[in-house]
Every structure is written in structure tokens, then in C-alpha cells.
Amino acid sequence: MNVITLTEFRDIKAKKIRKTGEIFSATPERVEEFNSTRYGQLVKIITDAEKPQKSAK
């Protein structure tokens, strides 16, 4: 499933800094992990309709 980052955070397992607005794939278990931290909800599940459209050049 695709998720969008709501707040910048350090993804320790992926060894990345997730910037606000970044879209990436995560398993349901990982989403639960992200959102069960003491910092609150870090990611939001998005559907295909919510994905930003890339402009054609």
C-alpha cells in the first residue's frame, strides 16, 4: 500500500529520512509501526485517487 509522510521522520529500518509529503510503499504492519510512536501519526494511507498527478512534458 502507498502512504504519504505527514511529518518528517527518520525511518530506521529503511535507513532514510522521510520528508513531509514523500510517497512510498509500506506494509500494513509498517504503517501500524509508524503511527504507534509517541510522536503521533507519521504517515497516512493514500489511494490511487489521492496520488498527485505528474504533469506530462
Residue 57, domain member (yes or no): no
What is the total count of domains within the chain?
1
In a domain, 56, yes or no: no
pLDDT above 80 (res 19): yes
Structural domain contains residue 12: yes
Residue 44 lies in a domain: yes
pLDDT bucket at 53, cuts 50 / 70 / 90: low
pLDDT band at 52 (very low <50, low <70, confident <90, very high): low
In a domain, 15, yes or no: yes
Q: Give residue 36's domain range.
A: 2-50
55 within some domain: no
- The CA distance from 29 to 13, in Å, is 13
Under 8 Å between Cβ of 4 and 19: no
pLDDT at residue 47, as a whole number: 84
pLDDT band, residue 35 (cuts 50/70/90): very high
